[in-house]
Structure 1
Amino acid sequence: MEFRPCIDLHEGKVKQIVGGSLNDSGAEENFVSQRDAGYYAELYREAGLRGGHVIALGPGNQEQIEKALAAYPGGLQVGGGINADNAKWYIDKGASHVIVTSFIFKDGEFFLENLKEIRKVIRKENLVIDLSCRKKDGKYYVVTNRWQKFTNFEVNEENMDFLSEFCDEFLVHAVDVEGLKSGIDEDLIKKLSRWVKIPCTYAGGISSIEDVKLIEKMSGGRMNYTIGSALDIFGGDIKFEDVIKL
């Protein structure tokens, strides 16, 4: 079980937002940093943390992405607008992995041909598939379009087994609790822990060190995790130094 840090970018700034609130008018913000992405990347590099993700939430974030990659080459994953045309560019720029979402999940559907297309330009070892999801009728489905649109792709063992043939890791935001600092999605964590055969990072709702310990207990130490809004470096109460000591 590893702590995977994050750098979320919105309108050219490092921010923490409430997961389902992003729309054309903006987003409900928990935190807006006065520091750039390079600062956080350097912080993670100095702490020896690998596998953190830099996520561009919409346009206007390219400069910040490049600052992060320059500060920590080989140590960060990049997501947000990744497709077959730009994936290799980010790897060449220093990203350890690219994170793909909307290129393979769009218009409510899963496009296997697009997944195969992106695999033609980068190796399996450099690809993370984002399965950020929301619950509907007792099941979890991948959501896209700023986490507003449900796809018909269910997050379950069969589908994760299939996708694991194409990628190195999964990233799963529990969108219903993302950014709320109100506790984790225990049902989702239990299910992911049973289903995944490759590394998987859970994000969403962590509000305390106790939540982290609960994730470890429920997953048997198999689930990696991300803390966003609740971390002190993003205005929260959990001390970054305490997390990296776990």
Structure 2
Amino acid sequence: MTKFRPCIDLHDGQVKQIVGGSLRDEGGGPIENHVAEQSAGWFAAKYRDDGLTGGHVIKLGPGNDAAAREALSAYPGGLQIGGGIHAGNAKQWIDAGASHVIVTSWLFDPGGELIESRLQQLIQSVGRQRIVLDLSCRRVEPSDSGELAWRVAMNRWQTLTTVKIDHATLDRLSAYCDEFLVHAADVEGLCQGIDADLVARLASWASRSATPRPMTYAGGVATMDDVTKIETASLGKIDVTVGSSLDMFGGQGCRYQDLVKRNQAARSDH
């Protein structure tokens, strides 16, 4: 059954929900959907108390380390950490209480080519079972065959890499990680519906792969119907993160307590 994975997105030390495509390096803040009054530690403690596992803390730029550490100390072993992670600091975040480290940009050279030796460095640092590969992506022009295409985006989703989201890529990279996290950056934070085509691509891999890994989709979830669509398309093999549409983040499309009850029902089924 598709499980709800909670999130704590940090920007300038605060818990926020933003439009993912609005992150920029060259001045000007992102478009903010919600700025929480509560601290990162408050959210982490709530997720802990509600029995939610496998959620993630994402540091969107500098100035977020203290808030991230607060969250991890409130829920040790219950949250993953991403944002600026590399082989040199991965272990310190595990030691700070993260269950996994989430990595994207450091794995690529400035031109967007994957440096596979860095995957090996990460494994040497914390072990494959502690690694989540963030394959957050943007839709690109279809191939000559007309097949839909997405490419992984790095640097807070600003720069496209050469890595495509397809079965071959997922098969190859599954040897280096314990899980995948996939943000659909084009619809992230818009609350206008999921990228159903991307979900279908991910679901087809999850259903057929000889080496499947847990996978979480994020981006565009507007209502509980979108959660159901993900579960149906993936036969429950893909989990989901809900952000800006969640009532606890000022949204109106999804009730946090409904998602908590959903997870509790899934656990009782097992």
TM range (shorter): over 0.9
Query: In structure 1, how many angstroms separate the alpha carbons of the residues matched to 2:230 and 2:171?
Result: 22
Could you say which residue in structure 1 is the equivalent of 2:115?
Answer: 111
- Which amino acid in 2 is paired with 1:206? V
Query: In structure 2, how many angstroms separate the alpha carbons of the residues matched to 1:102 and 1:145?
Result: 6
TM-score, normalized by length of structure 1?
0.98
Q: Does 1:178 align with 2:188?
A: yes
Could you say which residue in structure 2 is the equivalent of 1:10?
Answer: 11
Alignment of 1:71-86 (within 5 A): 71-86=74-89
Q: Is the 8 A contact 1:2 1:225 kept in 2?
A: yes
Q: Does 1:53 align with 2:56?
A: yes
Q: Is the 8 A contact 1:83 1:103 kept in 2?
A: yes
What is the CA deviation profile of residues 194-243 of structure 1, one whole-angstrom value per residue up to 9, with x for unaligned ones? 11311000000001011111111111111100000000111011210011
Q: Which moved more, 1:117-126 or 1:198-207?
A: 117-126
- Gap runs ≥5 in structure 2: 143-148, 207-211, 263-270
Aligned length: 246
CA-atom RMSD in angstroms: 0.8
Query: In structure 2, how many angstroms separate the alpha carbons of the residues matched to 1:105 and 1:17?
Result: 25
What is the CA deviation profile of residues 91-142 of structure 1, one whole-angstrom value per residue up to 9, with x for unaligned ones? 1111000000111034211110111111111111100000000010121100
SS of the equivalent of 1:201 reads: strand
Could you say which residue in structure 1 is the equivalent of 2:131?
Answer: 127
Q: Does 1:198 align with 2:213?
A: yes
Query: In structure 2, how many angstroms separate the alpha carbons of the residues matched to 1:106 and 1:33?
Result: 35
Q: Is the 8 A contact 1:140 1:155 kept in 2?
A: yes
- Which amino acid in 1 is paired with 2:169? N
Q: Which moved more, 1:227-236 or 1:104-113?
A: 104-113
Shift of 1:38: 0.2
Q: Does 1:102 align with 2:117?
A: no
Could you say which residue in structure 1 is the equivalent of 2:45?
Answer: 42
Could you say which residue in structure 1 is the equivalent of 2:145?
Answer: none
Alignment of 1:126-145 (within 5 A): 126-138=130-142, 139-145=149-155
- Which amino acid in 2 is paired with 1:155? I
Query: In structure 2, how many angstroms separate the alpha carbons of the residues matched to 1:146 and 1:242?
Result: 30
SS of the equivalent of 2:204 reads: helix
SS of the equivalent of 1:117 reads: helix
Work out which of the two has the higher radius of gyration on C-alpha atoms and give 1 or 2.
2
Could you say which residue in structure 2 is the equivalent of 1:219?
Answer: 234
Query: In structure 2, how many angstroms separate the alpha carbons of the residues matched to 1:106 and 1:214?
Result: 36
Could you say which residue in structure 2 is the equivalent of 1:148?
Answer: 158
What is the CA deviation profile of residues 49-76 of structure 1, one whole-angstrom value per residue up to 9, with x for unaligned ones? 0000000000000110011011000000
Query: In structure 1, how many angstroms separate the alpha carbons of the residues matched to 2:155 and 2:85?
Result: 14
Query: In structure 1, how many angstroms separate the alpha carbons of the residues matched to 2:4 and 2:104?
Result: 22
Query: In structure 2, how many angstroms separate the alpha carbons of the residues matched to 1:219 and 1:244?
Result: 20
Query: In structure 2, how many angstroms separate the alpha carbons of the residues matched to 1:177 and 1:5?
Result: 18
- Which amino acid in 2 is paired with 1:132? S
SS of the equivalent of 1:165 reads: helix
Percent sequence identity over matched residues? Answer: 52
